[in-house]
Amino acid sequence: AQKVTQAQTEISVVEKEDVTLDCVYETRDTTYYLFWYKQPPSGELVFLIRRNSFDEQNEISGRYSWNFQKSTSSFNFTITASQVVDSAVYFCALSEANYGGATNKLIFGTGTLLAVQP
Amino acid sequence: DAGVTQSPTHLIKTRGQQVTLRCSPKSGHDTVSWYQQALGQGPQFIFQYYEEEERQRGNFPDRFSGHQFPNYSSELNVNALLLGDSALYLCASSLGTTWGTGWTEAFFGQGTRLTVV
């Protein structure tokens, strides 16, 4: 069975601090996708990144970076120099490989509430 | 280009009643997925519609049913509401693919907040 664990329920940092959100996943599939989504108070899930299981290269996008390690089944997300606007709930998600004719379902973790204090 | 739109935004129902939630997908998308997000939890997959048929279903009882129309919009129906059905219901739209063509991104709406009293 597929499972995503986000052990950090809440994190509070002061603006300009770096913060890392942890994500550990379980799957028996050899081909899968991993995601991070941001959920602001408005409720809409905002897509941040997708990685496939064959690409372990770390990725950086502005202040955001992601560390994918298959050996430890982890896909961690780091925000550098955090800002108040980063305050939101962040979800890590997992999906199996493409299912014929339709997009696959996402398995979400329970989320990490990030509060960035000014 | 309008994104995914859901209606209504908020809804209050009484136990035992039935409710219908609606979703219009992003322009050009033909696949609609529904998720239930209880307070403090991650979204849970309910089911997915593609070409007007239910293609995948999560671990939800038959009280949860859906429909997709020829214009790809979709409805989620919940019968015999329970207090535990109170949640944010999210709709995600995407473009269906054929085998081996990889992932297509899902875009989410802002959700319908359902409260059952």
**Alpha-carbon distance A68 to nearest alpha carbon in chain B (angstroms):** 18
**Chain B hits for A45, Cβ within 8 Å:** 43, 90, 92, 108
Residue contact B55–A4, C-beta within 8 A: no
Q: What is the mean pLDDT of residues B60-74?
A: 97
Chain B interface test: which of A29, A34, A103 (most B C-beta within 10 Å): A103
Q: What is the dihedral of CA B38, B18, B60, A94, to 10 degrees?
A: -50
Q: Is the Cβ–Cβ distance between B7 and B112 less than 8 Å? A: yes
Q: How confident is the model at residue B2 (pLDDT cuts 50, 70, 90)?
A: confident
**Helix, strand, or coil here: B86?**
coil
Q: How far is B93 from chain A (nearest CA, A)?
A: 9
- pLDDT at position A72 over 70: yes
Q: How confident is the model at residue B50 (pLDDT cuts 50, 70, 90)?
A: confident
